[in-house]
Amino acid sequence: MNDCERMEDSIGPWLDGELSAAESELVRAHVTACARCGEARLRLETIDRALSSVLVAEAPKIEFASFWRELQQRIEQKTPWHKRLLERASDWTSAPTAAWAVPVLIAVLIAVLSYESYFPIRRSRNNFATVESIDSHGRNVALLREDESKTTVIWLYQNQEGDDEAAEETPPAGPAF
């Protein structure tokens, strides 16, 4: 970043009177000597003037008596409870008070997600283990799962002769009619 780029960032605060005396002097000296920054200053002043004429000059004068009369009526009017609740909610959620809402939301989310690990929810759990088995060409894999202790036992075994289901299904030898 060269001198001019750095100075351009400071011209706005300088025109707004937000710089210290030493910083102001530095910017003033540079803007006076540098054509590019001098033009940047003129552009900013033109924008500020135009802004002022649009935002200030366009605003109509509000007559106090009618403003106050209407306000008084609203003050005396009983506000329904649901509107008050909405007002309070909007006060809580509006900037800058909404700043607390983000960490609270994150904390609640984490608490909900980790709740089950600290306080296991007893859904349809019981103390029985379930057994699943997969049979593949005479070699079996049995899985024994137990919910409560979250234990899984894997049991590999081979079919003994005569245990083979396929053998049972084999039609008996001999003439079939």
Partner 1 sequence: MELSDWDLVQKCQSGDMSAFQELVSRYHQKVYMVILGLLRNREDALEVSQETFLRAYRKIGGFKGGSSFYTWIYRIGVNLAIDAQRRQKRNPLEFRDTMDTVLESQNEVARDPFAEVHDRELRENLVKAINDLTPEHKAVIVLRTIEGLSYKDIGAILGCSEGTVMSRLHYARKKLHDKLRSFL
**Which positions touch partner 1 (CB under 8 A)?**
9, 12-13, 16, 18, 43-44, 46-48, 50-62, 64, 67-68, 70-71, 74-75, 87, 90-91, 94-97, 99
Q: Is the dihedral of CA 68, 70, 73, 77 positive or negative?
A: negative
Helix (H) or strand (E) holding 130: strand 129-136
The two structure tokens encoding residue 18: 């937000």
Q: Cβ-count burial of 119 within 10 angstroms (0-12 exposed, 13-18 middle, 19+ buried)?
A: exposed
Go through the chain and tell me how many residues it has.
177
Which of 4, 166 has the CB closer to partner 1? 4
Name the token pair of 143.
Answer: 């899985």
* Whether 58 contacts 48, CB under 8 Å: no
- Which amino acid is present at 143? L
* Least separation in angstroms between CB 25 and partner 1: 19
What minimum distance in Å lies between the beta carbon of 75 and partner 1? 6
Rounded to the nearest whole angstrom, what is the least distance from the CB of residue 70 to partner 1 in the complex?
6
Pick the closer one to partner 1 by CB: 58 or 168: 58
Question: Phi then psi for 133, rounded to 5 degrees?
Answer: -135, 145
Question: C-beta of 85: minimal distance to partner 1 in Å?
Answer: 13
Nearer to partner 1, 54 or 105 (CB): 54
Closer to partner 1 by Cβ: residue 52 or 133: 52
- Which CB sits closer to partner 1, 61 or 122? 61
**Contact (CB, 8 A) for 144 and 155:** yes
In whole angstroms, the minimum distance from the beta carbon of 15 to partner 1 comes to 10
